[in-house]
Amino acid sequence: MKISELSPEYRQPPPPPQSALLTDLNRVVADVEALDASDSSSPEKLAADLRCLLTNLASAASSSSSGLNGAFRLKVWNLAFRLWNACVDRANHFAARGAEAAVAETEIRQAAPELLLVAGLPEGVPNAAAKAASLFHRTGLFWLDLGRADLASACFEKATPLVCAADTEEDRDILLDLNLARARAASSEGKQALAVALLSRSKPLAAASSVGVKALAEGYLLLGKAALATKSPDPAIDASSLLTEALDLCERAAASPCCTTPTSPRSSPATPNLQVIKDQCLRCLAAERLQANDYEGTLRCIMVSRASPGLGKEHSSIAFMALRACLSSGKLLEAERELDRLMANAEAPEFVCVSAAELYVASVGLDAALKVLVALAARCRASASAVAVRVLKTVVQGAGGEAGHARAIAELVSDERVVALFNGPANAHERGTMHALLWTCGTVHFHAKNYEISADLIERSMLYVSRDEESRSRRANCFRVLCLCHMALRHLDRAQEFIIEAEKVEPSIHCAFLKFKILLQKKEEEDAIKLMKAMMGYVDFNPQFLILSIHEAIGCKSFCVAVALLTFLLGLYSAGKPMPMSEATVLRNLITLLLREPGSEAEILKYSRRAKLRMGELGLEAFFGKETVGLRELNWFAVSSWNMALKVLKEDKYDYCSEFFELAAEFFSSGNGEDGANLLLICKSLIMSVSSMLLADDLNKSQLSDSDLKRGIEMLRRAGKLLPLTLSSALVTSDQLENNLPFLHTFSFYQLLSRLDTNAHPQQLQLAKNFAASKACTPGHLLILGDMASKGNQPNLEAAEFLLKASISTALASHSPNYGVISAALRKLVCLAGLHDFSGSMSDAAYDVFRQAYQIVVGLKDGEYPFEEGRWLSITAWNKSYLPVRLGQHSVARKWMKMGLDLARHFDRMKLYISGMEECFENFRKLTGKEPDECSQQDGEPSTGMSGTGSMSQPVLV
């Protein structure tokens, strides 16, 4: 049992209900005073504990019927001021804290005035309300410094009711500070109208004190600066009005006696401070007028500012704004004086001087650039090169693409005084910047084809390129660009000098390529080819440069160089190197170029053969390409070979013609074999190749080798398999070659068979019969074949007879018989029959031919059958009676005489001969009677009696 329970006198009175709160508050304040940096005493935790205590304290004050007693209030006030002083110590101790910690520290600081507000105003504390308001004011200022204008406004709003009565001078001072602080916070939140109202509300409070007037003027100045920076759309928020108000306050304060006479032993006159504010107002007004393009107003503000006493050296912005106003209003002399004034101001920052120089040079132009650069170099010795780069960049960018400005820039940057600014190893970066600036300007003119100006600028840029090892590449680039410029200007010797210098500095394939271009333009083709061969020796050689060289050679119309380059490029494919262009493309371009040169058939044939060979080695897709591209490339080679074959055919170069046709057949057959047009081209190429081979053999009077004969026969057999597939389309076209394909095939095949050592007569006869049975044969074709069969060292008389008879029968079967072909075939048949009759006796074969001829001419109109052939038939038949008469074969003689007479009667132009022939025939019949074998030698007189026509009756082979 406890003592208190035993005896009443030992019992202690119960503690008050708020004692626990005081204990906790005392503990937290002690933790704040301890300056401990542990996690348990971190600013965030302390701020949270204070928020909890404030909530509990406010709850206790509202729940108690009698409120907080006076002793409790005093204890809370005591702890609040301990907390505030501890916060001051913490701010001094923890000088550098993070943003989150700073916010927590300010929350701890704000707990002090919050405690005072909750505890109320105790009776024993003098000016308690002013003190609480002062703590809120200072806490709000901390929030403003942290950028939390909302929390600052809350602090100011809590403090304002405490001193709004303004009973004492201290209350009025605090209320003025609160209004000014609230205006600052409202301005930070963008509530400019509220800020203006608060400043207007503060005028009566500030009127009695010079310090208050100065503070109010600063408030208007700050609000005017904010309005000037933000440009509020609200017309009531005018920067000019606010700044004018601040200026008027300064004027009134300066005229007040309190501003010149100290009001207390510790105070001092306020004029110098007011003058500073006035100077700031005038500068801001000048800036506002400058923004409004009121240049005269700007200059008036500056004049007033300069007339104000007691400021010492003027602010650098004054001369800068004056310079801008003078330049904008066209007062160049005044602008120059302002620039000099700014340069003479030792306190003016270098960047301000440089910006002013840039503006002045941009407005005045290049004429003032050198003077400004020299002045800047003297003003900014430590960074003269960097300053020069900035000014020169302004000059270059303002010059545009005008030629006159570019030349002036070139003169400026090459001045010795300007170049001297960039001397020394410390200016390496600025030299590089300067070079890049001039290089860029030069390239702009280069792309605009102002090559002379570009060359000048690039050459001047080399003044800013060192001769050390690191700058070799840059110097070589300059030389190469200068070479290009002079090439474009056709200064080829000068260009050659520059590229030689570039190669000395940095040998590369680029230099070799430019030398190659110069040689091409100078038409030194042999040297260009030698240089091309030397390109392989460069370390950075790439086959792409060969392709570029080919394009250059073609562009310069140096086709022999282009051919040499393509030939050289072809040699790289055999090595298996990856190439930028396919081998087929190289061959195509090479053949295309060779087509321009006369007499290049052998070279074209050589590279066409290579294309065929590589196609077989690599495969169709690997050599020509895939799908449509490959087929197009293959078709080009096929068509090129075909066209080349036709070209040399016209020139009677049958050796080349045969090979080109053979190549065309190979290329066409490698494509889409199912295409009818493709099959026709293959067939034509094969047949024309063999035909050309035979023509070359006849022209050269040489003997085809066995291999050539076998190759030709094989080609014709291939064509023979394709002929049935192509006849349906070929026979309806107007192309004579296509319509004569079967004949050419047969004609060539027959000739090849005749050149074989073995007896080929049966094969020739079969070939003739096959052709005669085809739909493609014509009487003229058969006549030509029959004539060919009847000639040569080993004539095939059987085939010739068949073909001639087939020619006659085919011609007679047509709707419009060609009697020229028929007559020629009959004459050849007569001659062919004469080859079998050496005895002089009657030849049934020859007579059958004449009888067939007689049957043909009977019923024809005069002129339908060729007269010369008809006369030949009749006289030949009559003269055939001469030998039988001499041999005493009277019946045979009468038979031939009668045939000749009958044939002559069907030709009107034979009338001169008919009467004599009839008389001779009658005389011969009378003499011979019934025993014609006994006729005398005179029986042949009709033949001799026609001695005038004897020579005409001789057969003429055609």
In a domain, 497, yes or no: no
C-beta of residue 899 within 8 angstroms of C-beta of residue 851:
yes
What confidence tens digit (pLDDT) does each residue in 240-264 have?
Answer: 778 888 888 887 777 766 544 444 4
Look at residue 64 in the predicted model and tell me its pLDDT.
Answer: 58
Paired tokens of 219: 């408030």
* Residue bearing tokens 């010797």: 493
- As a whole number of angstroms, the distance between CA 356 and CA 748 comes to 97
Q: Are 295 and 380 part of one and the same domain?
A: no
Q: Identify the pLDDT of residue 100.
A: 84
> Is pLDDT of 270 > 70?
no
pLDDT digit string (tens) for 273-287?
A: 778 888 888 888 888
Which of 285, 315, 348 terminates a domain? The answer is: 348
Q: Please name which of 335, 232, 241 lies closest in space to residue 284, comparing C-alpha atoms.
A: 241
- With cut-offs at 50, 70 and 90, classify the pLDDT of residue 839: very low
Residues 278 and 379 both lie in one domain: no
According to the model, what pLDDT value does residue 935 have? 33
Query: How much is the pLDDT for 837?
Result: 52
Helix axes 332-344, 350-364, angle to 10 degrees: 160
787: left (phi over 0), alpha (psi -120 to 50) or beta: alpha
Is residue 647 one of the residues assigned to a domain? Answer: no
Residue 526 lies in a domain: no
> pLDDT class for 673, splitting at 50, 70, 90?
low
* Mean per-residue pLDDT, 472-485: 93
Burial label for 136, CB within 10 Å (0-12, 13-18, 19+), is buried
When pLDDT is cut at 50, 70 and 90, the band that residue 399 belongs to is: low
Phi, then psi, of 207 in degrees rounded to 5:
-65, -30
Query: Does residue 240 lie within any of the structural domains?
Result: yes
Same domain, 248 and 359: no
- Write the CA distances from 345 to 313, 317, 323, integer angstroms: 8, 11, 14
φ, ψ of residue 536 to 5 degrees: the values are -65, -20
Domain assignment of residue 310, yes or no: yes
Among residues 315, 348, 381, the one where a domain terminates is 348
Residue type, 248: D
930 or 305: which leads in pLDDT: 305
The answer to whether residues 299 and 404 belong to one domain is no
Round to whole Å and give the CA distance between 856 and 822.
Answer: 9
How far is residue 873's CA from residue 859's CA, in Å, rounded to a whole number?
16
Question: Of 50-59, 230-239, 851-860, where does mean pLDDT reach its minimum?
Answer: 230-239
pLDDT digits (tens, 9 = 90+) for 686-734: 999 999 999 988 888 778 888 889 999 999 999 888 888 876 554 445 4
DSSP 813: T
Classify 353 as helix, strand or coil. Answer: helix
Q: Which of 348, 372, 400 is the last residue of a domain?
A: 348
Q: Tell me, yes or no, whether 358 and 336 share the same domain.
A: no
Q: Range of 441's domain?
A: 351-465
953 to 369, 752, 863, 874: CA distances (angstroms): 114, 36, 20, 8
Q: Mean pLDDT over residues 425-443, rounded?
A: 87
Q: Report how far residue 752's alpha carbon sits from residue 746's, in angstroms, rounded to the nearest whole number.
A: 10
Phi, psi (deg, nearest 5) at residue 489: -85, 0
732-778 pLDDT per residue, tens: 454 566 678 889 999 999 999 888 877 889 999 999 999 888 888 89
Token pair, residue 411, equals 């003169």
- Pair 333, 409 in one domain: no
Whether residue 608 contacts residue 640, with contact meaning beta carbons closer than 8 Å, is answered with yes
373 and 334 belong to one structural domain: no
Q: Return the pLDDT at 96.
A: 62
**Are 296 and 402 in a shared domain?**
no
What count of Cα atoms within 13 Å lies in the side-chain half-sphere of residue 616?
Answer: 9
CB neighbour burial string for 705-723, b if at least 16 within 10 angstroms, e if fewer: eeebbebbbebbebbbebb
Question: What is the DSSP secondary-structure string of 434-458?
Answer: HHHHHHHHHHHHHHTT-HHHHHHHH
The proportion of the chain whose per-residue pLDDT surpasses 70, expressed as a percent, equals 87
In terms of residues, how long is the chain?
958
Q: How far apart are CA 955 and CA 958, in angstroms?
A: 10
Cβ contacts of residue 874 below 8 Å, gap of 6+? Answer: 900, 901, 903, 904, 907, 910, 913
374 found inside a domain = yes
At residue 592, the 3 state secondary structure works out as: helix
pLDDT 10s digits, 67-92: 567 788 889 899 889 999 988 988 88
Sorted by sequence, the CB contacts under 8 Å of residue 314 that are 6+ apart come out as: 305, 306, 345
User: What are the tens digits of pLDDT across the range 155-180?
Assistant: 989 988 888 766 677 888 888 888 88
Tokens of 162: 């405490």
- Structure confidence at residue 266 (pLDDT): 36
**Residue 120, pLDDT above cutoff 90:** no
Model confidence pLDDT, tens digit, residues 17-36 = 567 888 888 898 888 888 77
Same domain, 366 and 342: no
* Token pair for 150: 């909302």
Query: What is the average pLDDT score of the chain?
Result: 82
Whether 325 and 357 share a structural domain: no
Question: Is residue 639 classed as helix, strand or coil in its secondary structure?
Answer: helix
Q: What DSSP string describes 836-862?
A: T--S-S--HHHHHHHHHHHHHHTTPPT
Task: Using the structure block, give the residue that is written with the tokens 């003592």.
Answer: 3
Q: Which CATH number covers residue 287?
A: 1.25.40
Name the 3-class secondary structure at 23: helix
User: Which position has the higher pLDDT, 834 or 539?
Assistant: 539
| CA 377 distance to own-chain centroid | 44
Cα separation of 338 and 329, whole Å?
Answer: 14
Burial class for 702, CB neighbours closer than 10 Å (0-12, 13-18, 19+): exposed
Please say whether the beta carbons of 207 and 213 come within 8 A: yes
Q: Is residue 627 part of a domain?
A: no
Note whether 401 and 442 are same-domain residues.
yes
Question: What token pair was written down for 196?
Answer: 């203006």
Residues 6+ apart with CB under 8 A from 174: 130, 133, 134, 137, 159, 163
Q: Is the pLDDT of residue 545 over 90?
A: no
Beta-sheet strands, E only, within 674-808: none
Are 325 and 431 in the same domain?
no
Domain total in the chain: 2
Is 443 among the domain residues?
A: yes
